Amino acid sequence: MVKYIGKRIVYMFITLFLIATASFFLMQTLPGSPIASYNKLNDTQKAIVEKKYGIDKPKPVQYAIYMKNLAKGDLGTSFVFKGKSVNDLLATRLKPSLILGAQAMVFGTIVGILLGMLAALKHNTFWDYGSTFFAILGISIPSFVFASLLQYWIASEWHLLPVGLWNDGWKSSVLPSLALAMGPLALSARFIRTEMIEVLNSDYIMLAKAKGANGFEIAFKHAFRNALIPLITVLGPLAAGLVTGSLVVEQIFAIPGIGEQFVSSIMTNDHATIMGTTLLFSAFLIAVIFIVDILYGVIDPRIRVSGGKG
Amino acid sequence: MRNENEQEKLTPEDFERVTIDAHHSERIEKPSLSFWQDAWLGLRKNKAAIVSMIILLVVIIMALIGPHLNGHAGDAQNLRHANLPPKIPGIEATGFFDGDGKLAGKTVNLYEMKKVDEYYWFGTDGLGRDLFTRLWEGTRVSLFIAFVAAAIDMVIGVAYGGISGYFGGRTDDIMQRVVEILIGIPTLIVVILMIMIMDPGITAIIVAITITGWIGMSRIVRAQTLKYKSQEFVLASRTLGAKDGKIITKHLLPNMLGIIIINTMFTIPNAIFFEAFLSFIGIGLQPPAASLGTLINDGYKVMENQPYVLLFPAIVISVLMIAFNLIGDGLRDALDPKMKD
């Protein structure tokens, strides 16, 4: 196990290093300059600006400096927000994204699990078909379509909740969280349904029934707990989906979060911020996948014994 | 001839010995079905999948002929006809799609006000372009991107996974180390980085989607190859002198075809989503080109006053995604022997 974790950590760093390197050199090939109205400056002004942001040196030197700073956790200076470090910029924007992500995750998985259980316990009834159809909708409808519709009906037609921005307390977070929660909700509902149906047909459920355990006890104590374990495996895709969703949903609701920052940095060619955000997202997703793999081995002994690969 | 009174008394003569003919014991009663006939029988029972296939067919046909149906060109601008709501002949009498729209808070018939005699079935956008034509042109582009991306994913994935699994040894080791690193890189990040360095357009989107899209397929194909290549029928074929190429094309691929098709069916909606996603955040297709993503983006901007601009592309993309997912589900149930009862 220790050897496996060690190997995985090495892989994680190789992956992050590759992403940092690739994104650094990709940034250099981008069309356009990060400095606004660059073409209007004269040569002396250009030299001053380039020196200030450290882009006057040869590329390999820039790369070495960037990597050295990165090793210390310094993501560089934003080109657009004058003199502000990318670390500070992202730190102020982390909170809304984290709140939205956490709310969507908690709400989505809980409702999804309940829906999935309902479908499995009432297999092949109206409830089953209804929740399966709902899950298909959740998986199929793109988050930005759903977010736009929520914003149109609930916020701008019925005026129930704020249309956007982040200055109305919890109210601001309801619609974006809902839009983000659809993915986790649908995925976990589908997953729990399949698992529960399988578990409910197993011998130990039969035994529990024979012992005289009531339906509630069977559903929660025996079936649910065993169906829950495999749900951990979809946490990785779920987290990836949340990050993807956050890019558009934060854009739609004008939430000052990381996703919105990423998109606007792309629009303004803010190289340092694009790279910083890319690395932050990548580190987050890689860490989630790592934790999921480890957790799975810890929870399910069968995987741990066989050496835990995958 | 027995009457009812004698019914109770059965004599040994009443019984006739049935002889089992050894020649008939192996006879197959039902006509033998090929794998595909069997799969089709399974799929046919799945109503959701069949309905989805019909809907998908309709959408594809509309994507092909839709732009030519009403005589408006998708890029023809007519500022005098800008921002017209939908008006459909025949249905207009019911009060829906009759050209009524809001102007300064009041409901007025914009067609009468602007003295427009033509019908714009799904309305027009801010530049007076016909949205019906643009919608189906956009659908065509989105479907094209999705199909091409899925096909490329399939070819690369099958080749990579097949080579890695079939030849094994050091080849497999090296190829799998590469995959292990690539799989750690989040798809979204790669897609966005790739699209940023290329000229925006259909090619850029396809390359961006396929650059990591094949990995899932390659892993599945590798696992399947490993499973089948050690089985007896492959050994038998090899003993009879079959070459690698023949074993792969005649024995391994046909066995894996089902799972390859299922996986491809799920990559198509994924590609549709990524194209729309990229276009929605503004780094996908650039105007005046239309795709479902750019149309939704256009519609989102004017959602407040002209919700119909957003409505139609949103419906089409949702229906497409649902249809592909349901067909994928149906195919998985029909083709996966593990699910057979």
In SS3 terms, B213-279 reads as: HHHHHHHHHHHHHHHHHCCHHHHHHHHCCCCHHHHHHHHHHHHHHHHHHHHHHHHHHHHHHHHHHHH
Residue B101: which H helix or E strand, with range?
Answer: strand B100-103
ipTM above 0.90, yes or no: no
Testing the interface with B: which of A136, A145, A153 to mutate, by most B Cβ within 10 A?
Answer: A145
Residue B165 and residue B226 in contact, taking contact as beta carbons nearer than 8 Å = yes
- d(CA A148, CA A125) in angstroms, rounded, equals 33
**pLDDT of res. B94:** 63
Contact criterion met (CB < 8 Å) for B280 and A278: no
To test the contact with chain A by mutation, choose from B177, B183, B185, B324 the residue with the greatest count of A C-beta atoms within 10 A, namely B185
Q: What CA–CA distances, in Å, run from A30 to A26, A260, B330?
A: 7, 20, 43
pLDDT digits (tens, 9 = 90+) for A255-271: 888 888 888 888 777 77
Do residue B283 and residue A266 have CB atoms under 8 angstroms apart?
Answer: yes
- At B241, list the tokens: 């002198």
Q: Which residue among A15, A30, A244 sits closest to B196, beta carbon to beta carbon?
A: A30
Q: Give the residues across from B101 on adjacent strands.
A: B108
Structural tokens at position A136: 């298909």
- CA dihedral over A87, A89, A92, A95, signed as positive or negative: negative
Q: Which of A125-129, A148-152, A199-203, B75-79 has the lowest mean pLDDT?
A: B75-79
Q: Do B281 and A248 touch (CB under 8 A)?
A: yes
Least reliable range by pLDDT among A175-184, A195-204, B54-63, B121-130: B121-130
Query: Is pLDDT of A276 > 80?
Result: yes
Q: B106 forms bridges with which residues in the sheet?
A: B103
For chain B, what is the largest distance between any 2 Cα atoms, rounded to a whole number of angstroms? 101
- Amino acid type, B82: A
Q: B136: distance to nearest CA of chain A, Å?
A: 18
| Residue of chain B minimizing CA distance to A264 | B281
Q: What is the dihedral of CA B38, B44, B49, B51, to 10 degrees?
A: 160
For residues B135 and B122, is the Cβ–Cβ distance under 8 A?
Answer: yes
Q: Is residue A246 classed exposed, middle or buried when 0-12, 13-18 and 19+ CB atoms within 10 A define those classes?
A: buried
Give the nearest partner residue to B193 out of A23, A137, A244, using CB atoms: A23
**Is 60 exceeded by the pLDDT of residue A229?**
yes
Mutate to test the interface with B, among A16, A148, A151 (most CBs of B within 10 A): A148
> Residue A250: closest CA among chain B residues belongs to which residue?
B281
Q: What pLDDT tens digit does each residue of chain B (341 aa) get?
A: 445 555 677 888 888 888 777 777 777 777 777 777 877 887 888 888 888 899 999 989 888 887 777 777 767 677 676 667 777 666 666 666 666 666 556 666 766 666 666 777 777 776 767 778 888 888 998 999 999 999 999 999 998 988 888 888 888 888 888 887 777 677 777 788 788 778 778 888 888 888 888 888 888 888 888 888 888 888 888 889 888 888 888 888 888 888 888 888 888 988 888 888 888 888 878 777 888 888 888 888 877 777 778 888 888 898 999 899 888 888 887 876 554 43
Element (H, E) at B103: strand B100-103
Q: What is chain A's mean pLDDT, rounded? A: 79
Q: Tell me if B324 sits within 8 A of B56, measured CB to CB.
A: yes
Q: Taken in order A77, A78, A84, A88, is the CA torsion positive or negative?
A: negative
End-to-end CA distance of chain B: 46
Query: Greatest CA span in chain A, whole angstroms?
Result: 87
| B277–A151 C-beta distance less than 8 A | no
Q: What local confidence, expressed as pLDDT, does residue A155 receive?
A: 72
Spatial distance between the Cα atoms of A23 and A277, rounded to a whole number of angstroms: 11
The CB-based long-range contact list for B108-116 (8 Å cut-off, 24+ gap) reads: B110/B83, B110/B84, B110/B85, B111/B84, B111/B87, B114/B80, B114/B81, B114/B84, B116/B80, B116/B81, B116/B84
The identity of residue A216, as a single letter, is: F
- Token digits for B33? 């079905």
Of A14, A140, A248, the CB nearest to B280: A248
DSSP letter at B102 equals: E
What pLDDT score was predicted for residue B155? 92
Distance CA B116, CA B125 (A): 15
